[in-house]
Amino acid sequence: MLKVYHSQGARSLRVLWLCEEMGVPYETAEASFFKPSDEFKAINPLRTVPAMQDGDVRMIESVAMMIYIMSKYGPTDLEVKPNEPGYASYLQFLLFGEAGVAAYGNPLVATRFMAPDDQKQNWTAGYLKTAILKRLEFVGTMLGRQTLHRRRSLHRRGHLGLVHRHRRQVRWDRSGHSRIRPRLRRQPLAAPRLPARGGSEVRA
């Protein structure tokens, strides 16, 4: 069974959410980069979260884990194939969430929370904040480019409401493990496809 090394609020949520959507069985193990267990250190010497083990396979990159899970445990309707419309957008935003946005967050969080007081508001922290906001705005603009018809169609099919309901359904226990209510396991969710389908191809 897939074992996902996870901590609350970390990128491991991407992997758990995908497993939930696909109905892929998984277990979680505590992954703390402040107090890493020996088991976690053995799986991921970098101590970044998430890490994943699947038999002999070990992975430490969240989006790569998602691609692996879709390929190995699919097929899934969540994955857009090269011969389908929207493939370029799907691929782009799948990677953009990490490479284009979240990667900028690590040094910002580290500077704001860990740097000496006189360096917490330095020039680089300001640059990173602006860079992240600019990129989030870009995503918003691209999503806004979907036609009104497309958005109405998604609402009609209940997909957007489902995304919001899903967020409310995820609960966390004290060790940071997710507890997703069982009925969610049976529900499809189109969220990861939203930027990719129906609209024009997006080129950054």
Ligand X SMILES: N[C@@H](CCC(=O)N[C@@H](CS)C(=O)NCC(=O)O)C(=O)O
Q: Which residues bind ligand X (CB under 6 A)?
A: 10-11, 33, 48-50, 61-63, 98, 106
Cα gap 185→37, rounded to integer Å: 29
For residue 108, the minimal CB distance to ligand X (Å) is: 12
Helices (H), the chain: 12-22, 38-43, 62-73, 87-95, 103-114, 123-144, 148-156, 159-169
- Of 61 and 151, nearer to ligand X (C-beta) is 61
Given a contact cutoff of 8 angstroms between Cβ atoms, the answer to whether 163 and 192 are in contact is no
What's the full length of the chain, in residues? 204
User: Which residue do the tokens 């370029």 mark?
Assistant: 88
For residue 14, the minimal CB distance to ligand X (Å) is: 8
For residue 60, the minimal CB distance to ligand X (Å) is: 6
Given a contact cutoff of 8 angstroms between Cβ atoms, the answer to whether 62 and 13 are in contact is no
- Of 13 and 78, nearer to ligand X (C-beta) is 13
- Of 33 and 127, nearer to ligand X (C-beta) is 33
- Of 94 and 162, nearer to ligand X (C-beta) is 94
DSSP state string for 27-87: EEEE--SSS--HHHHHH-TT--S-EEEETTEEE--HHHHHHHHHHHH---TTSPPTTSTTH
For residue 31, the minimal CB distance to ligand X (Å) is: 8
For residue 199, the minimal CB distance to ligand X (Å) is: 26
- Of 108 and 190, nearer to ligand X (C-beta) is 108
